[in-house]
Amino acid sequence: MDCSITIYLDQRIKRNSGIYIVKLRVLSPTLGVTKMYSVNYKLTLEEFEHARSKKPKGKFIELSIELNKLLSRANEVAESIIPFSFEKFEKEMFAEPRNKANVIDAFNTAIEENKSMGRLGNADNYQNSLNSIVKFNETKTGKKDQKILFTEISTDWLQRYEEFMKAKGKSTTTISMYVRALRAIFNNSISKGDISSKIYPFGKEKTKYKVSSVKKVKKTLKQEELKKLFESTGSEEQLRAKDFFFFSYNCSGMNFKDIANLTYGQIDGDRLKFFRKKTENTTSEQTEISVYLTPFAHDVIKRYGNENKGSNTLIFNIITKEMSAEDKQKAIKNFTRSVNQGLKKLAKKINIDSNISTYYARHSFSTNAIRSGASMELVSEQLGHADLKTTQNYFSGFEDDSIEDLTKKLMAF
């Protein structure tokens, strides 16, 4: 731990009463700073010495226990902050206590937990859901109330919330995402024992609220569409978008966050080995993914890669290692948005799916690999999926020609 914390009786200012304020003294050798934090105790020197003795007696036993609990909590908070900063320590140590029955507090806890673990995408999803719920509550009550009790959220409340979002023009996908986030908060609070499962408003029963299912949109390009896209020409922005799309497609549908974090040290001849950033904080055992670099993929690295080819150097100028996690996330989002814009312009020009995005590279890889004879297990491994069902959701099915060929082979006695 990058600090030391002690219980301190601040006698720097002489008081006629002889009563002084008890404080936490926090020293950070790395920062070269010592700070004092007042706590809710005022004692005389004699009382303080009795309470802090190795074997307190009588009325000082309980006081000693309370001060030790305070010191223990301060140390736990400090140990959780890496690297240590006084700003974060103050926020964690002296924040207002959470109301376990308050949905807003539960959301904020989930947001902070996900941020601390680097799950910024999850944190954003929770934050967007919370913003929507708070806005609905303001519209319903006519006031900015920072308290929404779990007991208030009934089946009727959820149905009215859904109608509110529909009136705002929210898509079924967005509505489903926000409500699923709220359901996750309910589940988490129940598992912690903060609320009773009896008030759970979700379920398949007629009296419960059922989260709307979202119709899955196929995000796969057929081989002939991929060929048209690969051979297309356009502006510099559009060609760059096309190059990174096919780099992802060539590299087993590599996610753009993983592309942004690639270093030259991960290249071994014609192989590129990496761990998925999405799962680095969610699984105890990560599986290394190894992809084959085609001449095209090598060419993309040569064309857009950094001139400095040190083993720890990021290949592409999408993020920098000095950026904070939040800034990295913004940079990757901006880069992905730029690629998507270029792809859509090219798609419109050559008359293919105008909804094309970077996701299509990942889905197209999985579908076309399976159609070409690769096993679902192999594709799942290349995509870095822990569950085969996730890979099955990526697969858009076999084309009619493939089914016809299979049927003919079955009758070839």
Question: Domain containing 241 — which CATH number?
Answer: 1.10.443.10
Residue 330 and residue 229 share a domain: yes
Average pLDDT estimate for 116-145? 85
Average pLDDT estimate for 117-132? 89
Q: Judge whether 130 lies within some domain.
A: yes
The residue from 49, 66, 93 where one domain ends is 93
> How high is the pLDDT of residue 97?
63
pLDDT in tens, 48-60: 999 999 999 988 9
Return the higher-pLDDT residue of 14 and 34: 34
The percent of residues in the chain predicted with pLDDT above 70, rounded, is 84
* Segment of 171-175, 246-250, 315-319 carrying the highest mean pLDDT: 315-319
> How high is the pLDDT of residue 399?
46
Confidence of residue 233 (pLDDT cuts 50, 70, 90): very high
Q: Tell the burial category of 228 from Cβ atoms under 10 Å away from its Cβ (0-12, 13-18, 19+).
A: middle
pLDDT in tens, 312-331: 999 999 999 998 888 998 99
Q: Judge whether 411 lies within some domain.
A: no
Residue 56 and residue 146 share a domain: no
d(CA 362, CA 346): 18
Confidence of residue 398 (pLDDT cuts 50, 70, 90): very low
Q: Judge whether 209 lies within some domain.
A: no
d(CA 30, CA 3): 8
SS3 9: strand
Phi/psi at 10 (nearest 5 deg)? Answer: -80, 100
Confidence of residue 84 (pLDDT cuts 50, 70, 90): confident
Q: Judge whether 36 lies within some domain.
A: yes
Residue 320 and residue 241 share a domain: yes
Helices (H), 80-119: 86-93, 103-116
Average pLDDT estimate for 137-160? 85
Q: Judge whether 98 lies within some domain.
A: no
The residue from 32, 64, 93 where one domain ends is 93
Contact 43, 20 (CB under 8 A): yes
pLDDT in tens, 254-312: 889 989 999 999 898 888 887 776 655 545 456 777 888 889 999 999 999 999 999 99
Confidence of residue 387 (pLDDT cuts 50, 70, 90): low
Lowest mean pLDDT among 45-59, 82-96, 243-257, 398-412: 398-412
Confidence of residue 81 (pLDDT cuts 50, 70, 90): confident
Return the higher-pLDDT residue of 401 and 214: 214
Confidence of residue 234 (pLDDT cuts 50, 70, 90): very high
Domain ranges, residue 62: 4-93
Residue 112 and residue 83 share a domain: no
Q: Judge whether 191 lies within some domain.
A: yes
Residue 179 and residue 243 share a domain: no
Residue 34 and residue 55 share a domain: yes
d(CA 235, CA 237): 5
Asked whether residue 165 carries a pLDDT value surpassing 80, the answer given is yes
Average pLDDT estimate for 155-168? 93
d(CA 365, CA 216): 17
Q: Judge whether 214 lies within some domain.
A: no
Residue 401 and residue 305 share a domain: yes
Residue 192 and residue 240 share a domain: no
How much is the mean pLDDT over the chain?
84
Q: Judge whether 211 lies within some domain.
A: no
- Whether cis (ω within 30° of 0) applies to the bond prior to 83 is yes
The residue from 72, 93, 114 where one domain ends is 93
Residue 258 and residue 347 share a domain: yes
Residue 348 and residue 229 share a domain: yes
Residue 84 and residue 115 share a domain: no
Residue 365 and residue 312 share a domain: yes
> How high is the pLDDT of residue 285?
56
Confidence of residue 413 (pLDDT cuts 50, 70, 90): very low
Return the higher-pLDDT residue of 55 and 17: 55
> How high is the pLDDT of residue 107?
94
For the chain, how many structural domains are there in total? Answer: 3
> How high is the pLDDT of residue 120?
83
Helices (H), 256-324: 256-260, 295-304
Q: Report the candidate in 88, 84, 133 with the shortest Cα–Cα distance to residue 107.
A: 133
> How high is the pLDDT of residue 400?
44
